[in-house]
Amino acid sequence: MLDCDQYLLPKSLDEAFGFLETHGDAAQIVAGATDLLPWAREGRAGDVHIPVLIDITRIPELNGVALEGNRLRLGAATVFQKFLKDSVLREHAPVMPHVAVWFADDQLRQSATIGGNLVNASPAADGTPGLMALDAELVLHSRTGGERRVNVTDFPTGPSFSVLNNGELIVAVEFDSAAEYGASFEKVGHRRSLVISTVCVATVLKLDEVGQNFEDVRIALAGVGPVPVRLSECEEMLSGKTVTAALIDAAAHLPIDRVQSRTRQDYRREVVVSFVRRGIVEALASIGCDVGPFETQELETANG
């Protein structure tokens, strides 16, 4: 059970930082509360009393989607449901609707924010690999330090830890439009939603003008180590090469050694190979490129 003495709703960044300064260690930031509430409710932290909760979801800078030239900026309080509904996000962040489909259920998606997902820093968070594949930059802000920018790949430092300083907020997420890119998201679980993934792979890729060669490939993997990672070895193997089933299969086998989780290692390795391969194939299919059949056996996953 979570309770608090004061629930504050700042209407500006200045007001939020003022509240943080006034209440110091007694205050806790909250957005959708979908991590905070279960943490207190399910006995993970026992009964929790937080004197002051500061709800940042009404701050204008943390809301809205803006496309300036080729650069997209979305507020950190953007909820996952918006990736399914907002036409600008659907066009320019093509991997995120795939992430959102897999994310919990309609009700959770209406509250769960992208900022909360990043700060929670779960090794198996769904939003983080999606943003990594978009090569996103996070805009952080604090009263004393002002604004600083961090690539999303450098943000999580371990389970539940990140480079975010005390009193600092994620204000926005920025990335170049990926409107011309194909995208996919693969996630393993026992049910289609309401499950935190054990392994997930986000893929964003582009072909050259001829439509036969990989031009830009970005693949991010979560759930097999302490933090989500970009698969640079796969990206490098594919970039500039002609699309073939054999090349994709070879690239999919490269990240096997990335699996660090102590439990179910063999299973996770198999899932990684199968997901990376399928992620690339599905991202290609989303831009009309059919790779044809693979000889390698596909691993069965629960979404079928």
Ligand X SMILES: Cc1cc2nc3c(=O)[nH]c(=O)nc-3n(C[C@H](O)[C@H](O)[C@H](O)COP(=O)(O)OP(=O)(O)OC[C@H]3O[C@@H](n4cnc5c(N)ncnc54)[C@H](O)[C@@H]3O)c2cc1C
Q: 101-130: which residues touch ligand X (CB under 6 A)? A: 103-104, 108, 111-113, 115-117, 119-120, 125-127
Alpha helices in 121-262 (DSSP H): 127-133, 232-238, 245-253
CB-based contacts of 224: which residues, under 8 Å, 6+ apart?
A: 123, 199, 258, 259, 260, 261, 268, 272
Is 132 a binder of ligand X (CB under 6 A)? no
Q: How far is the CB of 111 from ligand X (least distance, A)?
A: 6
By beta carbon distance, the residue nearest ligand X is 116
From residue 151 to residue 170, the character string flagging contacts with ligand X as x (rule: CB under 6 A) and all else as - is ------------------xx
Q: How far is the CB of 119 from ligand X (least distance, A)?
A: 3
CB-based contacts of 220: which residues, under 8 Å, 6+ apart?
A: 128, 129, 130, 132, 133, 201, 202, 228, 229, 230, 231
**Do residues 57 and 31 make contact, with C-beta atoms less than 8 angstroms apart?**
yes
For ligand X, the binding residue among 150, 196, 245, 247 (CB under 6 A) is 196
- Compute the chain's Rg from CA coordinates: 20
Residue with smaller CB distance to ligand X, 193 or 296: 193
The angle, 0 to 180 degrees and rounded to 10, between the axes of the packed helices 245-253 and 265-285 is 150
Residue with smaller CB distance to ligand X, 81 or 120: 120
For ligand X, the binding residue among 194, 246, 285, 302 (CB under 6 A) is 194
Write out the E strands in 177-228.
Answer: 182-187, 200-207, 214-222
For ligand X, the binding residue among 13, 16, 20, 29 (CB under 6 A) is 29
Residue with smaller CB distance to ligand X, 81 or 203: 81
**Do residues 206 and 240 make contact, with C-beta atoms less than 8 angstroms apart?**
no
For ligand X, the binding residue among 30, 40, 95, 139 (CB under 6 A) is 30
From residue 57 to residue 96, the character string flagging contacts with ligand X as x (rule: CB under 6 A) and all else as - is -------------------x--------------------
Q: How far is the CB of 59 from ligand X (least distance, A)?
A: 9
**Do residues 247 and 294 make contact, with C-beta atoms less than 8 angstroms apart?**
no
- Which value, to the nearest 10 degrees, does the dihedral of the CA atoms of residues 70, 74, 80, 83 take? -30
Q: How far is the CB of 96 from ligand X (least distance, A)?
A: 12
Tokens of 89: 């996000």
Is 35 a binder of ligand X (CB under 6 A)? yes
CB-based contacts of 24: which residues, under 8 Å, 6+ apart?
A: none
Concatenate the DSSP letters of all residues of 72-86 into one string. Answer: EEEETT-BTTHHHH-
Residue with smaller CB distance to ligand X, 57 or 254: 57
- Count residues binding ligand X (CB under 6 A): 30
Is 19 a binder of ligand X (CB under 6 A)? no
Is 137 a binder of ligand X (CB under 6 A)? no
**Pairing mode, strands 229-230 and 182-187:** unpaired
Q: 243-262: which residues touch ligand X (CB under 6 A)? A: none
Residues contributing to the site for ligand X (CB under 6 A): 28-36, 38, 56, 76, 103-104, 108, 111-113, 115-117, 119-120, 125-127, 169-170, 194, 196
